[in-house]
Amino acid sequence: MKIYLLKKPLCAFLLIQLLFSAVCWAKDPKTAKSHPPKKSPQHHKTKWFKFSGLRELWRPGVPFFEVAGGMGSYSNMDENSGNTAFTRVGIGFQEHVLVDTYIGALAGIQTGNSGLVNFSNTGLANNPNFALPVSMDVGAPIDILFDIKQYIFPYGFAEVRFGTVYYSTSFNNADISGTKGFRPELQAAFGLNLNSFNRITFSYQKFYGHSLNLVDVNVSDGTASFPQLPNWNAFLVTVDISI
């Protein structure tokens, strides 16, 4: 079953969060600490483990929630319909490992996309069975990412996220089957601390898919398939809050 997030409430939340952070900064810029708040000393040992052999296990870091919005497009979409606005939410944690370095992990979900498939570079133009414009729907991508953050200025940092994303495709106006599966994902970002618990990042996001190429064409019954998951390129603005 496809999952679609409501874009308007998330965009409203993002704007409210940005406004709140700006007010906090205006009242007291010194509250924008150079790093997220550290854990209190009592958390440095996992006292909730009763057995001494388990006490030195690595402990989870500071959790955070994020909401994002941006613009992106899938490959092989028609020029006039491929670009789309999208929203994204995620939850994860980060651990302070070096003086200015944090590592962590997160899971996220973002809105899908719909658009017309480009006829000229996908094989559709060579098949008279598919004369109508063919529409592609991409289900909501769900990803799991590892995260590395390096502070390079007192309030600024560079961030890289990498992992895997699951998404699916389906096609309308023609008897063409889609596919679903996992593909590699990369996010590269630069961010700023807004205050002691809020950060804003400006990111580039890419799903490493493939160019669409029509296969399994059956002229007699007018069926075919696109077995490839398309590439995705996007730019987004993210606000996260430590929880």
> Is the pLDDT reported for residue 191 higher than 80?
yes
- The helix or strand, by DSSP H or E, that contains position 23, with its residue range, turns out to be helix 7-27
Q: pLDDT at position 22, please?
A: 57
Q: What is the mean pLDDT of the chain?
A: 80
Is the alpha carbon torsion for 75, 78, 79, 85 positive or negative?
A: negative
Rounded CA-CA distance 76/118 in Å is 5
Residue type, 180: K
- Going from the C-alpha of 150 to that of each of 40, 97, 115, 226, the distances in angstroms are 22, 11, 37, 40
Listed by start position, the domains of the chain span 54-242
For 50-69, write each residue's pLDDT tens digit.
444 333 344 457 899 999 99
The CATH architecture of the domain made up of 54-242 is Beta Barrel (2.40)
Catalogue the E-assigned strands of the chain: 62-74, 84-96, 101-110, 113-116, 135-138, 142-151, 156-172, 175-177, 180-193, 198-207, 215-218, 223-225, 232-242
* Structure tokens belonging to residue 130: 């598919």
- The helix or strand, by DSSP H or E, that contains position 24, with its residue range, turns out to be helix 7-27
∠ Cα 203 2 120 (to 5°): 70
Which one, of 70, 67, 61, lies nearest residue 20 by Cα? 67
Task: Pick the more confident residue, 108 or 13.
Answer: 108
> Is the pLDDT reported for residue 215 higher than 50?
yes
Q: pLDDT at position 12, please?
A: 60
* Structure tokens belonging to residue 173: 């106006």
Range name among 38-42, 131-135, 224-228 with the lowest pLDDT average: 38-42
Q: pLDDT at position 47, please?
A: 44
> Across 7-21, 47-61, 224-238, which has the greatest mean pLDDT?
224-238
Q: Percent of the chain scored above 90 by pLDDT? A: 47
Rounded CA-CA distance 86/110 in Å is 7
Q: What are the residues facing 136 on neighbouring strands?
A: 115, 171
DSSP classification of residue 158: E
Is the alpha carbon torsion for 14, 32, 205, 3 positive or negative?
A: negative
> Is the pLDDT reported for residue 100 higher than 80?
yes
**Mean pLDDT across 10-16:** 60
DSSP classification of residue 77: B
For 192-207, write each residue's pLDDT tens digit.
999 888 999 999 999 9
Q: What are the residues facing 89 on neighbouring strands?
A: 67, 109
Task: Pick the more confident residue, 16 or 208.
Answer: 208
**Mean pLDDT across 81-94:** 91
> Is the pLDDT reported for residue 236 higher than 60?
yes
Rounded CA-CA distance 32/152 in Å is 15
The single residue listed with the structure tokens 């406004």 is 19
DSSP classification of residue 117: B
Q: pLDDT at position 126, please?
A: 74
